[in-house]
Structure 1
Amino acid sequence: MSQQRVYYLLTAVSGFLFTFAFTLLLVFHVRVAELSPVQLVLVGTVMEITCFLGEVPTGVLADVRSRTLSVQLGLILIGLSLLLQGSLPVFGWILAAQVVWGIGYTFTSGAIEAWIADEVGEERLTHVFLRGQRFELAAMILGSVAAGAVGVLDLRLPMLLAGTGYVVFALVLVAVMREPGFTPVAAGGRLTFGQMRDTLDAGLRQARRRPLVRSFLLISLLAGLSGEAFDRLWTAHVLDSFTLPSLFGISSVAAWFAAFAIVGQLIGLGANYAVERAGLTVNAYPAALLGVLTLIQVAGMAGLALAGSLWPAIGALWARDAARALSGPLESAWLNRGIDSPSRATVLSVNSQFDAFGQVAGGPPLGALAGRTSIPVALLCSAGLLVPVAVIFARPGRRAAPPGVLA
C-alpha cells in the first residue's frame, strides 16, 4: 500500500473514531458529569496546557527519531484517555483524561503532516490534504451516525468503543505505515540530547526569521484565543437556550446532536469539493480565500450567539464549522511549503503550541465571563477575537509576495 493511501486511511479512520467519541462528548460532560460552564472550560484548559507543554518536545522527537512511531504512540494514548473518561465520569478523572489526551495529541500534531509532506512532495500537498479531508469528512458522517445510534443507549458507550478502536488502529498502522522519504537525525538509532537541541534550534530559527512562519504563529495564537471558549460552550448554549423538538418521534439529545454534526459534515464535504472543483486552490498562497473563510467563521460564531431560535443558530454553527474545516488543509499546505523538512515537525509543533497557548490564555477568562454574565456574551467575545486573523490575510502587498513569504 502506498503511503499516500495510508494517509487517506489514517484520515478516514481517525475521523470516524474522533467523531464517534466527540460528537456527544460535551453532551456527556453536561448531562452525565454535570459540569458547570467554568468546569467545561477548565477541562479544555487542562488539555491545552498539556498540549502547550508537550508540543515542542514531541515534535522534536518526531524529527529526530520517527514520525510514524510518534503517530502510533499518540493514537494509543488518545484511546486510553477516552477509555478513562468514559469509565469514570467524574470531574477529577475527566481532568486526568485530558492530560493523557493532550500528550497523545502532541505526538500526532505536526508528525502526520510532516510525514506525508516528505512522502508525496510539497507540490502535491494541497490536493492531498484536501482529498484527505474529504475522506475524513465522509468518515466523520458515519462516526456521527454511529455516535447517535449508540449514544441513545448510553452516552458513555461512544467513548469506550472509540477508545478501543484507537488502540487497535495504532497497532494496524505499525504494519502498514512507513517513512521512506524521511531521514531521522538519530539515523544510527542512538538518540542524544545534542541531536534534539540542534533540531529544536533549527525549528526555532525558522519560526523567528521567516515571515510566513511568524504570521502563522500569530494566526494560531488568535485562533486559540477565540476557539477554546466557543468550542466548549456552544453545546451548553444550545441546551440552555432552545427546546429540541422530536426527531422522527425521537426526542433524545444524542440523536439531535448527532444530526447536527452529520449535516455540518455534509456541508463541509460539499464545500471542500466545490472549492477544489472551481479551481480556487490553484494559487499556492490562498490569502484572499482564507480571509473570506475567516470572516464566515466570525459571522457564524456571532450568529449562533445572537440567534433567537434553534434553526438560525444551528445554521450559523454549520457555516462556521464548514469554513473552519476548509481553512485547515489550505493553511497546512501553505505552511508546510514554507518550512524545511529536517525540522518540519518541530516547526509545526511550535505553531500548534501557539494555538494551545491562546486557548489556555483565552479559555478561562471567557469561561468566567460566561459565568458572570451569560454564555452568548462569551461567544460574541470569541467571535471578535478572530477578526484580526482576517486582517492578517488581507494585508496590502499579499498578492505580490514571493513564494514562502507572507508579506
Structure 2
Amino acid sequence: MNLRASQVYMIMMSMTALAISTMSTTYGIYLIGELGLNPFQLVMMGTVMECTALIFEGVTGVVADTYSRRLSVIIGMFVLGAGFVLEGSVQWIGALTPFISVFMWILVAEFVSGFGWTFISGADMAWIVDEVGEKNVGHLFMRAKRVSLIATLLGIALSVGLSTVAPNLPFVAAGLFYLGLGVFLMLFMKETKFVRPERTAHSTHWHEMKTTWVTGAKVVRRHPVLLMIVAVTLFSGAASEGYDRLWEAHLITDIGFPQGVLSSMAMWFGLISVLTTIIGMLAVRATEKRLDMSNERSVFYGMFVLTAAHIAAILSFAFSPSFAWALGSLLAIGVIRTLKEPIYNTWLNMNIENKSRATVLSMISQSDALGQAAGGPLVGWVGNRISVRASLVVAAVLLSPILAVFARVLRKR
C-alpha cells in the first residue's frame, strides 16, 4: 500500500496526538497524586528535558539536513517511546534499585524523552514542507490539527480508563504508541524531495554537519524576521514551562473540585480535556475558513491577537475565585494554544529556506528549550516560596515581551 506524504503526515500527527493526550490527561494524578512531586520537582522535570533539547537539538537538526529527515524522525519516535515507557515504569524500577530514588529515575526518563524529541523537532516539518511545498503546507497544518483533535478525544477516554486501573499506565501506553508509530513510519514514510548536500572527495561526516550548521546560523542572522521568531520562541518557552507543569497543581491544591459531581479527579481532568478538544475543533474549523493561511500578514496578525488573549486567560486562571471561573479560563487557554500551533508553524516556515530548514527549525527549538530551561526553575521557585498562583502570574508576565514585539512590528507596517 502506497500512501501520499500528506496522508502519512496526517496519520503521524494523529498518532502523536493520541499518545500525548493519553499521557497528559491524567498526568497530574500520576506525578502529583501517586508520586507526590512538589512544584519545584515538577518544573525540574521540564528543565532536564529542555536542557537536553538545548544541548542536542542543533546536532540532530543538522543530521536531518545532512543525511535524512525521514531517518531522524523514525529514530526520534523510538527513543521518545522508550522514554515514556521508562517514566511510566519508575515505581517498578525503583523497587528493584532502592539506592536510586524514583525522582532520579523520572529525571533519567525526561532526559531520554528530550533526546528523542530533538530528532523529531524540525525534521518532521522540514520533511512535509519539502514533500508538499510551502504554498500548501499552511492548509495541511490546519487539517492535521483538526484530525489530531479527534485522536485527542480518543486519547482522553483511554487515559481516564487506564488511570482508574493504575495511574502509571497512560505513560506506558503513550510510549507503546510512539514505538508503534516508529514501525509504521519505517514502512510507509517516503522521502522523495530531499536533496543531500554534495560531498567533496575530502569531506568528512563532521565537516558536512559543520557546514550545514554554519549555513543555518547565517540564515537566522541575515533575516530580521527569524531573529524576531527566535525572541518570540524564547519567551514563549519560558512562559509555557511554568504553566504546563503547574496548572494541575493549582486546580488540585488551590481551587479544588466540586463535591458529589464526578467520582474521581481522573474524570474531571478527562472532562476538561474533552471540552477543550471539542471547542478547539470548532475554533480550528472556523479559523480555517476565515484566516488566509497563505498570507503572511494575516498569519502574523492572528499570532498577535492570540498572544494577547493567552496572557489574559492565564491571569484569569491564576486569580480564579471559583471552580467554574477556573474551568472557563482553562478552556480558553486550551483553545488559544490549539489555534496558535498551526498558525505559528505556518508563519515560521514562510521565512525559512529549504536547504537548511531542519537546522533552522532546530535552532529555533533550541531557543524554546533555552526559555523553558531558564524560565522553568524561576517559576518553580516562585511556586515553592510564594504560591502556585504567583507562579502562574509570572508565566503570564513572561509572555508580555512577545506582545510588545508584535505590536511594534504592526505599528511599523
- Structure 1 residue 222 displacement after superposition: 0.6
Q: Pick one of 155, 172, 179 that aligns with 1:167.
A: 179
Taking the TM superposition and a 5 Å limit, the aligned residue runs for 1:86-101 are: 86-89=88-91, 90-101=102-113
Q: Separation in 2 of the partners of 1:258 and 1:104?
A: 27
Q: Separation in 2 of the partners of 1:130 and 1:352?
A: 21
- Structure 1 residue 283 displacement after superposition: 2.3
TM-score by length of structure 2 reads: 0.93
Unaligned runs of 5+ in 2: 92-101
Matched, 1:210 2:212: no
State which drifts further: 54-63 or 274-283: 274-283
- Describe the shift of the 1:398–1:145 C-alpha distance in structure 2 as closer, same or farther (beyond 3 A): farther
Could you tell me which amino acid in structure 2 is paired with residue 350 of structure 1? M
State which drifts further: 316-325 or 377-386: 316-325
8 Å contact kept, 1:244–1:251 = no
Q: Separation in 1 of the partners of 2:63 and 2:167?
A: 36
Q: Pick one of 113, 118, 132 that aligns with 1:106.
A: 118
Q: Percent identity?
A: 36
- Structure 1 residue 282 displacement after superposition: 5.0
- Structure 1 residue 180 displacement after superposition: 0.2
Could you tell me which amino acid in structure 2 is paired with residue 377 of structure 1? A
Matched, 1:347 2:349: no
8 Å contact kept, 2:272–2:327 = yes
Alignment match, 1:262: 274
- Structure 1 residue 242 displacement after superposition: 2.5
Alignment match, 1:52: 54
8 Å contact kept, 1:155–1:254 = no
- Runs of 4+ aligned residues of structure 1 deviating over 6 Å after TM superposition are none
Q: Pick one of 54, 60, 63 that aligns with 1:61.
A: 63
Alignment match, 1:178: 190
8 Å contact kept, 2:352–2:360 = yes
Summarize deviations over 1:35-87 as a string: whole Å, max 9, x none. Answer: 11111111111111001111100000011111111111111111111111111
Alignment match, 2:130: 118
State which drifts further: 218-227 or 385-394: 385-394
State which drifts further: 279-288 or 295-304: 279-288
Q: Separation in 2 of the partners of 1:113 and 1:79?
A: 19
Alignment match, 1:35: 37
Q: Separation in 2 of the partners of 1:114 and 1:187?
A: 21
- Describe the shift of the 1:193–1:291 C-alpha distance in structure 2 as closer, same or farther (beyond 3 A): same
Alignment RMSD (CA, Å) = 1.7
- SS of equivalent to 2:215: helix
Summarize deviations over 1:210-264 as a string: whole Å, max 9, x none. Answer: 011101000000101111111111110100023323676x421111111111111
Summarize deviations over 1:152-210 as a string: whole Å, max 9, x none. Answer: 1111111112211211220111010011011123779x961111011000100011110
TM-score by length of structure 1 reads: 0.94
Alignment match, 2:392: 379
Q: Pick one of 370, 374, 378 that aligns with 1:357.
A: 370
- Describe the shift of the 1:186–1:245 C-alpha distance in structure 2 as closer, same or farther (beyond 3 A): farther
- Structure 1 residue 396 displacement after superposition: 4.3
Taking the TM superposition and a 5 Å limit, the aligned residue runs for 1:2-401 are: 2-89=4-91, 90-185=102-197, 192-245=205-258, 250-285=262-297, 286-396=299-409, 400=413
What is the aligned length? 398
